[in-house]
Structure 1
Amino acid sequence: MASINLRFRQATVEDAGQIQQLVESAFRAIDSRPDWTGNAELASTFRISVEEVMPRIVNPDNAVLVALDDTGNLVASIEVAKRGINCGRISMIAVNERYQKGGVGRSVLAYAEAYCRQTWNVEKFSLNALSTRKTLIEWYMRQGYQKTGETSPFPRERFTSVALPDDICFIEMEKEFSSSTGEQGQSV
């Protein structure tokens, strides 16, 4: 895939519908990499509503950041939130299926980290990943995130029709920013 020039901005309420569609399609995308998607049946039933996206956009302690291509089309989105004094929480990262496997996710994550550092003076980042998505967890580790040893429960009640592994959960991960890791983002 040819490289893509991304333009970033904070999402507005007018973007909620497009973000909802992007997040659903990104989570449902079939990926040939083993353990990237995790449970295919779970991925195919994932749903998020515009009503769930909207509060994420308007919350003053959150920002949903969007990446656009040169023609203004939505390519990716990511949610960041301020947690405590110096921690930023990364969630809801989604990349248009057409742009997956081309480095867009890495660019979006780096931009989100830089945004948190510049906006909230964040020194540590946290996120979680579904335990069945082993290749995704490894990808986060290559981006500097480490498993904390903590887990959080998976909302089984939202997926009662899906046969889920007994041990499914979210793996908590963190990344400390230090001068030894260098500035890892783009300026915002």
Structure 2
Amino acid sequence: MDTAPRTTGELTYRDATPADAEALVALIESAYRGDSSRTGWTTEADILAGQRTDRQGVLEVIESPLSRLLITERDGGIVACCQLEHRDEAAYFGMFAVRPGMQGAGLGRRVIEEAERLAQQSWGVREMHMTVITAREELIAWYERRGYRRTGKLFPFPYGDERFGLPQRDDLRFELLVKPLQGR
């Protein structure tokens, strides 16, 4: 598996190390929770309070032999991240965050394209999978414009597990989205 940093234009992509954990938690939290997340369009602040992740959760992804946490940097600062996990013929895409003030300018699209390229190159996978909270219709539509399709396969939200946030409503669930990667 190639783990060397890769630079395209003004962006550098590299694998996270344990030393990056605190900065990654801050990025992920800023993109999804609290008032800072409201400056971007990916906020979950109206449906979930509390934390999105913690240092331990980030370290688990970094240290797992089946996953990697991809960092995107611009001018030496972390501007985005995503998790890639090898799952047989597919890769799982998660923990995706873009700095709120940089959302809506094409950075997320570039990060997901790099993640798809890297997953296919590293593991030879045929599909990318992700789960998205079904209440996030605007986010699901964004993924659909990038070639992901809704599967109708639903998973319960982990109510009662505060590691994933404090639900503000009782109808939350996840849906599996899938994108074929053949021919890339």
* TM-score bracket relative to the smaller structure: 0.7 to 0.9
1:39-98 residue CA offsets vs partner (Å, 9 max, x unmatched):
6151x42342101110100111100000000x21000000000001x2100001000112
Structure 2 letter corresponding to 1:93: F
Preserved contact between residue 38 and residue 134 of structure 1 (Cα < 8 Å)? no
1:88 alignment counterpart: 91
Query: Shift of residue 156 of structure 1?
Result: 1.3
The amino acid across from 2:94 in the alignment is S
Secondary structure of the structure 1 residue equivalent to 2:182: coil
Q: Secondary structure at the match of 1:157?
A: coil
TM-score, normalised with respect to structure 2: 0.86
- Counterpart amino acid of 1:143? R
Rounded Cα–Cα distance in structure 2 between residues aligned with 1:31 and 1:152: 29
Tell me, which stretches of 5 or more residues in structure 1 are unaligned?
184-188
- DSSP 3-state at the match of 1:82: strand
Residue type at the aligned position of 2:148: Y
Higher strand fraction: Structure 1 or Structure 2? 2
C-alpha contact 2:71 2:80 (8 A) present in aligned 1: yes
Report the CA distance between 1:38 and its aligned residue: 5.2
How many residues align? The count is: 171
Equivalent-residue separation in structure 2 for 1:161 and 1:104 (angstroms): 29
- Among candidates 165, 168, 178, match of residue 182 of structure 2: 178
Whole-Å separation in 2 of the counterparts to 1:124 and 1:77: 20
Rounded Cα–Cα distance in structure 2 between residues aligned with 1:101 and 1:109: 14
Structure 2 residue corresponding to 1:121, chosen from 100, 124, 139? 124
RMSD over aligned CA atoms reads 1.9
Mapped contact 2:17–2:62 kept (Cα < 8 A):
yes
Q: Counterparts of 1:134 and 1:56 in 2: how far apart (Å)?
A: 27
In the alignment, what sits opposite 2:146?
143
Please list every run of 5 or more consecutive structure 2 residues that lacks an aligned counterpart in the other structure: 1-8
Deviation at 1:163, TM superposition (A): 3.4
Partner of 2:17: 12
Secondary structure of the residue that 2:161 maps to in structure 1?
helix
Shift in alpha-carbon separation, 1:11–1:141, aligned structure 2, 3 A: same
Query: Is 1:40 matched up with 2:46?
Result: yes
Measure, in 2, the Cα distance between the counterparts of 1:32 and 1:19: 17
